[in-house]
Amino acid sequence: MKLSILTTILLLLSTISIAQMNVSDKAQLVYNNHSDQFFVLDDSTHYWTQKPGSNRWVKHPYVYAGDVPFMEMMDMTKVLAMSAKSYYFVSTSCGNVYVLKQDTLKRIDHSFPHKNQYGAPMFAWNNSVFMFGGYGFFQVKNVFTRYVPQAKEWFEVITKSKESPSPRSGPVFLAENNKFYLIGGVNRNYLDDTYLRDCWKYDCQKKSWEKLGEVNELLYKDFKLMDLNINLPNGVLRMNNRLIELNIRQNKWTSYENPLVLTMSKITSSKNNEYLLYAQSNSNSSNDYVIKVQKFDDLKEFTVGQYPIYQKVSVLKLFPKEDYLWISLILNFLLFTMLFYIRRMHKLKFLQRGQKKLRRSDFTTSEWDLMCLIQRHGEMELSALNEYFNEEGLSYETLKKRRETFIKSIRIKIAMISRKPIEEILMETKHTADKRMKIIHWNEDIELEFESDEDE
């Protein structure tokens, strides 16, 4: 009899509903996509659910059987909807895991508080919890961990992709079906915070990362101003007096302005961002909030703008800055080698286009006459050519210098036209009888083209 009465009382308590609800700043809020309902927990005796659009909160009693005081558990965890009737409360630093199932909230892991992934995004897929990056022990990381319920322990996720996101904490992120999207984040280096601009997608089934591109400049500038619901994925974020809606499938983000946004926190969106669950601050108390569910369209008072979330990365940004010097040196070397090769080939072709005969038009009258004279005799003493350079009162040394300069110029012209080595043209040797005299020789393979040859 007593058992039936108790059961009846519990059933009555579970059906109690209210339109408006007050909570503390410790309240845990989440949307359960498995059951299509919002979830709020702020007490160790009961939690509340609401179907989007019903405007009524339903109260559900439960028993807290955790290993630490209730408020301590609330402070160190975030809630994730795992199925239609179960919720995980996961340590924000990775480690402890509590489950709310069958009206009991208790700890289920065999792990310990890692204190290694503060600010790491967490999401649920295939009955497991995943966490990426985060801050701990004075360092930002890019470690990827997964809680396996069967083992009740955390393990590192081994991916199949060659590249993965760099260390970061507090990024914007989304989880849709078996895809996890990571947008930006912060990399702390001592007291300097660097805001990242890359956008990544992780495929849970393929176990691989893919870099989608670079975050839009305007969205990147707004990261510092956004009030993120740290650790939990969300399609709607708050930035000062604006709401930012993210649509990763269409690669666009839209900004809406509404003064009411200034009082909103802990925003959670339903499927396709149709409804928003949020905590609205109470002006009389900084620790009390009113929980509200509202159609997102009703909060879109003024559209500020719409932009892509990311764009493809420029080819110039694919390489680290320190690699540019080596790339520049390699390119310059290749360019120099190519120019040298072209010049060399051009020179070889130029040398191969030599004329078979020397033409009268390529030389001066005195040059042509002198060449004809040497060609007729085949070889001559150099002194026999003095009459072409002699003048009254000219010294022998000056005469000799003029002769040598004149013959040198003829050699250069013949070499350029015939493409023969200059040292083989009009060669000079010593006289066999008198070593003081020099003989100049005509090259037998060089022909002179006379006017009669041209007429023919």
Higher pLDDT, 157 or 381: 157
Number of structural domains in the chain: 2
151-159, long-range: CB < 8 A, 24+ apart: 151/110, 152/97, 152/108, 152/109, 152/110, 152/111, 153/109, 153/110, 153/111, 154/94, 154/95, 154/109, 154/111, 154/114, 157/130, 157/207, 158/207, 159/202, 159/207, 159/208, 159/209
Domain shared by 391 and 435, yes or no: yes
What pLDDT score was predicted for residue 454? 47
Better-predicted residue by pLDDT, 279 or 445: 279
**Percentages (nearest 5) of helix, strand, coil residues in the chain:** 30, 40, 30
Last residue of a domain, one of 352, 376, 395: 352
Strand 236-239 with 226-227, pairing = antiparallel
424: CATH? 1.10.10
Instruction: Give the domain range for residue 333.
Output: 319-352
Q: What is the pLDDT of residues 18-55, one digit of tens each?
A: 667 899 989 999 999 999 999 999 999 999 999 999 99
Residue 62 falls inside a structural domain: no
Residue 124 near residue 80 (C-beta atoms within 8 A): yes
Per-residue pLDDT tens over the stretch 320-346:
656 667 777 888 888 888 888 777 666
Pairing of strands 447-449, 357-359: parallel
Q: Tell me the average pLDDT across 122-140.
A: 93
Instruction: Give pTM, 2 decimals.
Output: 0.68
Same domain, 410 and 428: yes
Tell me the C-alpha to C-alpha distance, in Å, between residue 316 and each of 173, 178, 312, 323, 326: 26, 32, 12, 11, 14
Q: Is 451 in the same domain as 363?
A: yes
Pair (434, 361) in one structural domain:
yes
Q: What is the pLDDT of residues 348-361, one digit of tens each?
A: 555 555 666 888 88
Residue 50 in any domain: the answer is no
Domain assignment present for residue 393? The answer is yes
Question: 369 and 449: one domain?
Answer: yes
Return the pLDDT at 374: 86
Please tell me the predicted confidence (pLDDT) of residue 450: 76
Query: pLDDT, tens digit, for every residue of 375-402?
Result: 888 888 888 887 777 777 778 788 888 8
Judge if 378 and 411 occupy the same domain.
Answer: yes
Residue 140 is assigned to a structural domain of this protein: no
Tokens representing 178? Answer: 């078996």
Question: In percent, how much of the chain has pLDDT > 90?
Answer: 46
Give residue-wise pLDDT tens across range 60-77.
999 999 999 999 999 999
Classify residue 367: in a domain, yes or no: yes
In a domain, 441, yes or no: yes
| One domain, residues 384 and 415 | yes
Examine the domain organization and report whether 374 and 429 are in the same domain. yes
Q: Which residue has the higher pLDDT, 434 or 364?
A: 364
Residue 364 sits in the same domain as residue 444:
yes
Give 275's pLDDT tier (boundaries 50, 70, 90): very high
Cβ neighbours of 83 (radius 10 Å):
13
Decide which of 352, 373, 397 is a domain's last residue.
Answer: 352
Co-location of 341 and 416 in the same domain:
no
Q: Are residues 416 and 336 in the same domain?
A: no
Q: Answer yes or no: are the C-beta atoms of 112 and 153 closer than 8 Å.
A: no
* pLDDT of 455: 47
Q: Considering the domain boundaries, does residue 444 fall inside one?
A: yes
Residue 388 sits in the same domain as residue 348: no
> Hey, what amino acid is at 233?
P
Q: Is residue 414 part of a domain?
A: yes
